[in-house]
Structure 1
Amino acid sequence: MWSGNDFAPGIMNWLRRSSQPRDSPARGRALAYLVLAAVFCILSYQLVLNHESISRWAEEQGFVVIDNVVTDGDPDPEPSEPSTYAPEKELVLAAMSSSDMTWAEDLSWPVNIYRADVQPGKADLTVPVNKGNEAMVYLTYLIDRYDSLPDVTVFLHGARYQWHNDNPLYDSVVSIQNLNLDFVREAGYVNLRCSWMIGCPAELEPARYLRERPDDPNHPTATEFPDQFKILFPDMPVPELVGGGCCSQFALSREQVLQRPKSDYERFRRWLMDTKLDSGTSGRVLEYSWHMIFGKPPQHCPDPREMYCKIYGLCNMTEFELQNQWIWRGLVLPDGWPETRG
């Protein structure tokens, strides 16, 4: 069988003979160019034949050829659609130095545990000053992580079992595990409470309190809120009514956080650090401001049945189930909860 390997030496010898002077220099050069072009074409064709032979040989031996490269593994599978059930996510927990946080560390979520009563530099994560309860932790995280936020962030208090957690066990783990992250991305801001008990449909009357200045010593948040609202939201009119589920536990999408510049969160934290209000009152002012900070109207009380379905997947609840999803047990759960639940 004829091959380029047999032909090349012969053609080169013929080329040397043909380059000897015969008729004219011009004719010799033209002939030489033609011969060189023929050699180039023949060698190129041989390379193609050799490449195809190598590819066939590699496949017969069980190798894989991808983009002309022989590999010893299986070809990469076609890229799959991004999973909507394993997005980038993080927890932010407002804790104290004495808080037992092993419950959160055992979860599959990356967790940021802020020890609010520890001096800066004395803990992995802490705050500039322990003031405003969980609000200082949340704002510090938003400032520190503004340029590296996860897809979804969930903000919680440090204890696992809390009287305001919206499930029959009052269990933070249940709320986290059942949370619909797709809905968080869609809504931007999601209060983890669906029940209207405490906070909805209206908790505060800022505009009336601003006009009438009623004496209400038992509700310092209501009396202080109008003036603080004007500081926090200088471009917004003081609302007639403010309503939203208590108690400063919510989830945010990255896109919603970035709707505000970092300087806004720095300004809110500066207000919290400088205000003469006590921690309880200043924290509650922000408790009833988070939904407005993150793009919701002053009165933000979605239908509980709809929210249980969208947030936690608890759809088609009976009236009995709806009424018993969260029950008032006071501001403190019974000692030994949940083992002591009746």
Structure 2
Amino acid sequence: MMLLPIGHHTHRRWRSIFIFLLAATLLYALIDTFNLHSQLRTPPGPPTVNLILATLSLKPHRWTEHLSIPNLTVIPYIADDPNAVYHPPANKGNEAISYLTYLHDFYDNLSDISIFIHGSDSSWHIDGVLEQSTKQALNRLDLAEVWKRGYLNLRTSWESACPVWINTSVTLNSSAYDEKLRPEEPYIRGAIQDIFPGRKIPRGLASPCCSQFTITKDRIRSIPKHTYKRAIEWLLNTELESRISGRVWEHLWHWLFLGKDIDCPSEWRALCVWYHVCFENEGDWMGFKEMDASKYEFLRFKQAKLRNGLQMGNRGVVGLQEGVRKIEGALGPWRQKAIERGRDEGFRRMVKGSGDL
């Protein structure tokens, strides 16, 4: 087959087209990179932070005065006091309605970072290695990591949460339905259909419990304002009890803000990177966790004996209490070593780079 020679003008035209396409590609890449950097750009200086408390009138929150977070504003939503400065439209849906009211009402005037918590300092919803103290967790929280991730759950434990916890196909008549363990499970599919019409229903949902999280303003605004209003209306109008409707929302926050069905970061990596409590490796963390669990077993046995009528001076009760003291004596230095290791930025960077967070 004979090839025709390419003329001078044809060659020049193709070269012009190539240069144009190359320039367009480079310009697109530059704009895309700029947009990405704009999203990840940290605020100049410490970020502004709003701490949203979902609480009640008889629950004091003076403990927040001991938080060391710069540029912090505490915003208590008092669910049972319609005369409070901040309150939801009704005391329904547990903490969810207070959170959603803030998300809607502050949508156009958000801080750089918002932290959503229940009103108490001492809470089992906070990891045991952080002494179940909300104050300690927040004082240790690395806000730069919050900014990079956009959203993170304040709890890292997978217990009763991960790797998969909610099956959205479960109904009230399903053999898999466990009313005691997951009473909210059969209602999640319907809630998603009502609140987020047209969105694909996830097959399963999982994330550490229990509706305490932190999020950036950009991530909040990635959801249209009217969606928060519709979610509030759902809580106000649903016939579900608050204990159910509130628990429905426990499983939706990560799905809403991250667009992920499953958000189960490695416990030991999350503790290290987010809270600077760095165990040497996964095995070191598991060893600590198992010993900590044995302490609570001793405490449960002790409480059971006391309920059965034994006195504090009983030999069995004393032995259990001594066992608890010995375990705590081992856990204390172990935890302190993890905190000291967490001061090493290089170690934290290595941990973060070794797995998905």
Q: Above 0.5 in TM-score? A: yes
Determine the structure 2 residue equivalent to 1:159.
Answer: 120
Unaligned runs of 5+ in 2: 1-40, 304-323, 329-357
Q: Which amino acid aligns with 2:80?
A: D
The alpha-carbon distance between structure 1 residues 216 and 322, as it changes in their structure 2 partners (threshold 3 A), is closer
Q: Give the corresponding residue for 1:111.
A: 74
| Shift of residue 214, structure 1, vs aligned partner | 5.8
Aligned residues: 255
1:82 CA displacement: 8.1
Tell me the residue number matched to 1:183: 145
Residues 207 and 103 of structure 1: CA distance in aligned 2, closer, same or farther (over 3 Å)? same
Map of 1:307 onto structure 2:
270
- 1:143 counterpart = 2:99: no
Structure 1 residue corresponding to 2:167, chosen from 205, 225, 228: 205
Provide the rounded CA distance (Å) in 2 between the counterparts of 1:203 and 1:289.
12
Which secondary structure state, in structure 1, belongs to the residue aligned with residue 258 of structure 2?
coil
Whether the 8 Å CA contact 2:56–2:78 is kept in 1: the answer is yes
Q: Distance in 2 between matches of 1:215 and 1:309?
A: 36
Distance change in 2, residues 1:182/1:269 (3 Å)? same
Look up the match of 2:135.
Answer: 173
Question: Structure 1 214/183 Cα, relative in aligned 2: closer, same or farther at 3 Å?
Answer: same
- Given that 2:195 and 2:227 are in contact with CA atoms closer than 8 Å, whether structure 1 keeps it comes out as no
Matched, 1:287 2:250: yes
2:52 paired with 1:92 = yes
Aligned to 2:155: 193
Q: Any conservation in 1 of the 2:55–2:118 contact (CA below 8 Å)?
A: yes
Where 1:147 maps in the other structure, the secondary structure is coil
1:166–1:325: 8 Å Cα contact kept in structure 2?
Answer: no
Asked if 2 retains the 8 angstrom alpha-carbon contact of 1:210 and 1:227, the reply is no
Cα-Cα RMSD: 3.0
Quick one: distance in 1 between partners of 2:192 and 2:269? 30
In structure 2, do the counterparts of structure 1 residues 189 and 199 end up closer, same or farther at CA, with 3 Å as the change threshold?
same
After superposition, the C-alpha distances for 1:271-308 in whole angstroms (9 at most, x for unaligned) are: 11111100010001000000011023111111212211
Which protein has the bigger helix share?
2
State which structure, 1 or 2, has the greater radius of gyration over its C-alpha atoms.
Answer: 1
In the superposition, the TM-score normalised over structure 1's length comes to: 0.67
Which position in structure 2 is the counterpart of 1:4? none
Aligned counterpart, 1:260:
223
1:213: how far off?
8.0
Q: What is the CA–CA distance in structure 1 between the aligned matches of 2:257 and 2:203, rounded to whole Å?
A: 19
- Paired letter, 1:152: I
Q: TM-score by structure 2 length? A: 0.65
Q: Does 1:102 align with 2:51?
A: no
Identity, % of aligned positions: 33
SS at match of 1:114: strand
Counterpart amino acid of residue 195 in structure 1:
S
Aligned positions of 1:55-134 closer than 5 A: 86-108=46-68, 109-119=72-82, 122-134=83-95
